[in-house]
Amino acid sequence: MYHNELTFLLLQLMETKRATTFFINGSPGSGKSVLLTQLAIVLPQINKRIRIFGPYETNSFQSLTLNLTKDMFDSIYLNTEIPEDISCDLLSTFDWLKNNIHATANEKIVILVDLDYKNMDIDSIRSWFSSIRSLEDRWEDGPNKILIILTSYWNHNILDNHYREIRLSFPYTLSHNYFLWRGISPQQMDEIVQQQLTINGSVVPYGSLIHELTDGHPGAALEIIEQMKTKQEYSISTMIDAVKLVAKNGKTAKNFVNLWKDLSQKNLSIICHLLRGYLIPANKLRPYIDGLTSANLVSEVSLGNNNFSYLSSWYIECVLRYHLEDIGVEDAQLKRVDVDDLIPPLSSIHKEAYIIINEIENLIRNFTTIRLSEKLVSEKTLLADKVIKYNNNLQKNTDAQERALSWKNKSKKAGLSVDMNPEIAYLSIQDLASLVGELAREIKSDEWKNISKALQTTTDIRDAVMHNQLIDDSAFNQLFSLRSSIYEALKPVQI
């Protein structure tokens, strides 16, 4: 869930009760403060009756009450300033507000609080949460609806255990008024990259790549972008190098490490299993999953009826591997693994490259089939007598038809379905390029002659993509250039 879905959820909650609290949990640098600023703008645009107060960044009850009541006084919602003996207590302040606020019944008050969790122990967080939650009951007979949105970072599992130990009612319900904020959407990441990086002439989707590498964590992403800016030119290679550098020395990485130092031995054991490449069934992590996800360590993937947990991003994996000792992991075998020997999971670039390759091949194969069919004057098959080559194993010349049928038969023997595919689908890229070259000579087209040459040079790129190897910017741009050339060549001379 990203910003838009969260906004809709908050608007729904405001309709359910007279007073509502909503808790947003997010790791350092995940963009919680920016989220509150966006909500302060968007909520009143959607509902004209909403009045926003805040965001207030604080860890003091008195600081919150003084700033809130001052803003309400300045906005003519109060005729008098709050007495000093009341302002030091949150509940007393809201009792006083209930009797003194000048708001119409249809107005909805939204208070945004960004709770600074630093230097706060678990009981201090408990005090804040219980006080904020109790405001719901205190405001039930209030003059108008009120919603308090609080963002901070905490370990849900530890907080839950603390409340059980002291036998107090828990302040929120996971499926109702609690939300785990992981980061920004791919679209928002694209906007940040476009604002921060000026990449002329490149078609590489850097926004998607950085989002995938960081799981949308804006703090990590901005450090990666800043590191890329120090280079003379932007490339996928410099981006991956930047990820490693900020994972080792960056401010966000240090904040994560300080966070992870408090992980239990069980949580560290889980992390070690994930660093060894295992995927852990999510149902086995239920007692620990909330603490691990709020610390940006793990994500879940669905496979049929099962969910599996894995490390949330390549950036997080790099931070862990560079700082094993710092977080209390003494594992000699894990320390032997070199980050440079691992493959960064960049499926977004492979998906993009494969889509282009698929489009290129289909356009060429279908165009070639149509041209050959138009010229067919006998009962010969389309590929007969085309691209004749000497076969050393068979000690004879073979044409494109024989080679395509050979590949098709091998696929059939391997148990693959071949009925949906015509013979030209079993023509190798090199044979397809040669066939396009022959066709170009027949139709006297320099454009298709150039496409034939370009297609031959993309064979290595295609193989790299199919074998999950990272490709660089030049290879990516080469695919785009070939696709553009094909589009130009497919323009009819006359319409």
Q: Does 73 fall in a domain?
A: yes
Q: Does 62 fall in a domain?
A: yes
Identify the H or E element spanning 198. Answer: none
Q: Does 195 fall in a domain?
A: yes
Q: Please tell me whether residues 55 and 117 are part of one structural domain.
A: yes
Residue 1 has pLDDT above 60, yes or no: no
CATH classification of the domain holding 162: 3.40.50.300
Q: Please tell me whether residues 263 and 339 are part of one structural domain.
A: yes
Give the model's pLDDT for residue 390.
83
d(CA 182, CA 30): 6
Q: Does 360 fall in a domain?
A: yes
pLDDT mean over 295-318: 91
Give the model's pLDDT for residue 150.
95
Give the model's pLDDT for residue 310.
92
pLDDT digits (tens, 9 = 90+) for 4-50: 778 888 888 777 777 789 999 999 899 898 899 999 999 999 999 99
What b/e readout covers 397-407, taking b as 16+ CB neighbours within 10 angstroms? ebbbbbbbeeb
Sheet bearing 145-152, strands edge to edge:
50-58, 108-115, 145-152, 19-26, 178-181
Identify the H or E element spanning 395. Answer: none
Domain that holds residue 222: 184-343
d(CA 229, CA 247): 16
Last residue within a domain, chosen from 291, 315, 343: 343
Q: Does 134 fall in a domain?
A: yes
pLDDT digits (tens, 9 = 90+) for 143-173: 888 899 999 999 888 899 999 999 999 999 8
Q: Does 283 fall in a domain?
A: yes
Give the CA distances from residue 32 to residues 10, 58, 186, in Å, rounded to whole numbers and listed in that order. 15, 14, 17
Give the model's pLDDT for residue 328.
92
Q: Please tell me whether residues 151 and 203 are part of one structural domain.
A: no
Could you count the other beta carbons within 10 Å of the beta carbon of residue 223? 24
Q: Does 495 fall in a domain?
A: no
Q: Please tell me whether residues 243 and 290 are part of one structural domain.
A: yes
Q: Please tell me whether residues 406 and 294 are part of one structural domain.
A: no
Q: Please tell me whether residues 303 and 367 are part of one structural domain.
A: no
Q: Please tell me whether residues 72 and 84 are part of one structural domain.
A: yes
Q: Please tell me whether residues 373 and 337 are part of one structural domain.
A: no
Give the model's pLDDT for residue 50.
92
Distance of alpha carbon 312 from its chain centroid, rounded? 10
Cβ-proximal residues to 476 (8 Å cutoff; 6+ apart), any chain: 202, 203, 204, 236, 349, 352, 353
367 SS3 class: helix
d(CA 318, CA 337): 11
pLDDT digits (tens, 9 = 90+) for 105-149: 788 999 999 999 888 889 999 999 999 999 888 888 888 888 999
pLDDT digits (tens, 9 = 90+) for 440-473: 998 888 888 888 988 888 888 888 888 888 888 8
pLDDT mean over 308-325: 95
d(CA 59, CA 113): 9
Give the model's pLDDT for residue 493.
67
Give the model's pLDDT for residue 157.
86
Last residue within a domain, chosen from 293, 319, 343: 343
- Two tokens, residue 481: 């250039």
Q: Please tell me whether residues 196 and 334 are part of one structural domain.
A: yes
The closest of 365, 356, 362, 364 to 466, measured between CA atoms, is 356
d(CA 392, CA 278): 46
Give the CA distances from residue 226 to residues 185, 213, 318, 409, in Å, rounded to whole numbers and listed in that order. 20, 15, 18, 53
Q: How many domains does the chain have?
A: 3
Q: Please tell me whether residues 52 and 87 are part of one structural domain.
A: yes
pLDDT digits (tens, 9 = 90+) for 203-223: 788 899 999 999 999 999 999
pLDDT mean over 360-386: 86
| β-bridge partners, 299 | 310
Q: Please tell me whether residues 147 and 275 are part of one structural domain.
A: no
Last residue within a domain, chosen from 181, 211, 242: 181
**With helix as H, strand as E and coil as C, how does 222-263 read?**
HHHHHHHHCCCCCCHHHHHHHHHHHHHHCHHHHHHHHHHCCC
Q: Does 305 fall in a domain?
A: yes
Q: Please tell me whether residues 334 and 407 are part of one structural domain.
A: no
Give the model's pLDDT for residue 46.
92
What pTM did the predictor assign?
Answer: 0.85
